[in-house]
């Protein structure tokens, strides 16, 4: 989540359940909450946005954070476009599927 002032990114990694569909439907999933200020930006994405073959996932996450703070002043749709453009250009090899949701809170 990008703070309303566009300076701070908080990675929401407190909960790490298996992917949707990998557990029985009646399985209990963990939840987390996070306080935010109006104007903050929530970015939800699948692993295809930041994972690269032969690269530590933290490198891809750092690239996402850098691009999010660089382009965070944009409204959600142009921000999503900028993130997709800048992060997809770093891919080496076959493309992975990507889902991306950007919401201004």
Q: At what angle do helices 76-88 and 57-71 cross, to 10 degrees?
A: 140
CA 86 – CA 89 distance, rounded (Å): 5
Number of domains in the chain: 1
- Where residue 62 sits, what CATH number does that domain have? 3.60.40.10
- Does this model's pTM top 0.75? My answer is yes
pLDDT tens-digit map of 25-46 = 888 888 888 899 999 999 999 8
11: how many CB neighbours lie within 10 A of its CB? 9
Q: What is the pLDDT of residue 90?
A: 64
* Domain containing residue 92: 1-105
């Amino acid at each position: 989540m990008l703070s309303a002032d566009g300076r701070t990114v908080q990675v929401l990694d407190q909960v790490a359940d298996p992917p949707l569909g990998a557990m029985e439907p009646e399985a209990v999933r963990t939840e987390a909450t996070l306080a935010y200020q109006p104007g903050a930006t929530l970015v939800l994405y699948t692993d295809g946005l930041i994972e690269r073959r032969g690269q530590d996932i933290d490198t891809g996450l750092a690239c996402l954070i850098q691009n999010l703070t660089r382009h965070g002043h944009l409204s959600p749709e142009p921000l999503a476009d900028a993130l997709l453009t800048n992060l997809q250009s770093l891919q080496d090899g076959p493309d992975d599927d990507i889902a991306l949701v950007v919401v201004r809170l």
